[in-house]
Amino acid sequence: MTSNLSIRSAGPADLPLIAELIRALADYEQLADEVRFDEAVLGDRLFGARRYAEVLIGEVDGAAQGFALFFHNFSTFEGRPGIYLEDLFVQPAARGSGLGKALLAKLAALALERDCARLEWSVLDWNEPAIGFYRSLGAQMMDAWTVMRVDGAALAKLGTEAVKSA
């Protein structure tokens, strides 16, 4: 039996769905304790005057079963923008339907349409099913790179130091 897949851009009415899918992703990644967003603030950042990210909703037979949240970055070496995929998630019941590939294909099409040099994302090193899936699509591991992050108290401290030295 073939499923009917569709991908659409999210709108403000999708905010509760997006929040639900983010929480489901966090559960899958064993990071539920790190979900701290305020839904109203999230909605403002996604659909307000200054939009920081975009969301695609993936549907199987008319029912929302997944999402991709992404934003633009910029490659100085290429001199062109790129698309960074922050989150990709497909509900367990819809895995194997082709929805994950359809979401990534839509992002690749957007990257081409927007003259982006690349589409990139991070994946948890223990997530072998996802890594295998991404490789099957032609994605390459960027083994020479390590993700760095400053957040929480370290971010506040560093930001405060920048203000003092300015």
- How high is the pLDDT of residue 136? 94
Q: Which residue of the set 28, 52, 84, 134 is catalytic? A: 134
Give the pLDDT confidence of 116-128 residue by residue, as tens digits. Answer: 999 999 998 998 9
pLDDT of residue 1: 53
Reported as a single tens digit per residue, the pLDDT across 14-29 is 999 999 999 999 999 9
- Which helix (H) or strand (E) covers residue 130, if one does? helix 128-136
Q: Does domain 5-121 have CATH number 3.40.630.30?
A: yes
Q: Extract the tokens encoding 16.
A: 């509760």
The Cα 99–Cα 89 span in angstroms is 9
Catalytic residue status for 134: yes
Enter the pTM of the model: 0.91
At residue 147, the pLDDT reads: 87
Low-confidence residues of the chain: pLDDT under 50 = none
Residue 87 · residue 67 · CB < 8 Å: yes
